[in-house]
């Protein structure tokens, strides 16, 4: 049985994150600073393995986990894979650009594995993935799924639910999850200096959501 994403919910989630603020584009060019309990470096292969309470910073980016595998490709781009301790999740945090006078915004994410691709400039959250947006220190939006990919260049998020295993059980899903993408979205702030909403023009109606053929009508 193929798992089909709830398309309307997913589009709403992406629209909520997209266009509100942009991630720090300068982070891509910043050096990668890493702290850990132990390090094994291979100069020939240009790889490094950090283990034990790993903390990586790169500009406004912060990554934390139990193990970090880092490699540098021939073009000089850095790639990292953070793995959490068994039963726990690795952590990601990045500041987003905000308009002058607007509250600070941060993106935070957690999953068992976090992959950072310096060339594509994206972050991939794998297994028990959760992504949150904070505005002024308050939680604004939250998305969960099996895999979440955030592209820093395009400011686009993609979310995938659990794959359904034979027999209808979602692989790796805990009780009650059912392999669905879940989102909690806060209303956007009204434009500055806006007054009360103007009455709708005669005959005007609010746009209605159209059903999608990709929606899964049953439960997993």
**pLDDT class of 190 with cuts at 50, 70, 90:** low
pLDDT higher than 90, residue 168: no
**How far apart are alpha carbons 17 and 150 in whole angstroms?**
10
pLDDT score of 81 = 97
Question: 3-class DSSP state for residue 217?
Answer: coil
Contact indicator for 220, 10 with CB cutoff of 8 Å:
no
Contact indicator for 147, 131 with CB cutoff of 8 Å:
no
Q: What is the mean pLDDT of residues 92-116?
A: 90
What share of the chain in percent tops pLDDT 70? 65
**How far apart are alpha carbons 50 and 142 in whole angstroms?**
30
Contact indicator for 1, 168 with CB cutoff of 8 Å:
yes
Question: 3-class DSSP state for residue 3?
Answer: coil
pLDDT higher than 50, residue 67: yes
What share of the chain in percent tops pLDDT 90? 37
Q: What is the mean pLDDT of residues 40-45?
A: 91
Contact indicator for 146, 129 with CB cutoff of 8 Å:
yes
* DSSP state letters, 155-212: TEEEEE-PPBPTTSPBTTPPTTTTT--EEE-PPPPPPTT--SPPPPPTT--PPPPPP-
Q: Which of 8-17, 74-83, 133-142, 174-183 has the lowest mean pLDDT?
A: 8-17
Contact indicator for 25, 169 with CB cutoff of 8 Å:
no
Within 10 angstroms of residue 176's Cβ, the number of other Cβ atoms is 6
Q: What is the mean pLDDT of residues 176-186?
A: 66
Is the pTM value of this prediction over 0.85? Answer: no
């Amino acid at each position: 049985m193929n798992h089909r994403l709830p398309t309307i919910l997913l589009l709403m989630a992406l629209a909520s994150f997209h266009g509100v603020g942009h991630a720090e584009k300068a982070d891509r060019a910043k050096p990668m600073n890493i702290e850990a309990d132990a390090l094994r470096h291979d100069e020939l292969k240009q790889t490094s393995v950090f283990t034990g309470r790993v903390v990586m910073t790169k500009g406004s980016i912060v990554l934390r986990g139990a193990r970090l595998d880092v490699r540098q490709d021939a073009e000089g781009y850095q790639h990292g894979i953070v793995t959490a301790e068994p039963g726990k999740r690795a952590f990601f945090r990045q500041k987003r650009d905000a308009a002058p006078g607007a509250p600070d915004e941060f993106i935070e994410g957690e999953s068992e594995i976090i992959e950072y691709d310096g060339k594509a400039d994206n972050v991939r959250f794998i297994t028990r993935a959760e992504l949150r947006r904070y505005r002024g220190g308050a939680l604004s939006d939250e998305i969960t799924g099996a895999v979440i990919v955030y592209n820093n260049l395009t400011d686009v998020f993609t979310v995938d639910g659990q794959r359904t295993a034979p027999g209808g059980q979602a692989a790796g899903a805990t009780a009650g999850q059912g392999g669905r993408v879940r989102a909690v979205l806060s209303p956007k702030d009204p434009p500055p200096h806006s007054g009360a909403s103007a009455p709708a023009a005669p005959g005007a109606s609010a746009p209605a959501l159209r059903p999608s053929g990709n929606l899964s009508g049953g439960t997993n």
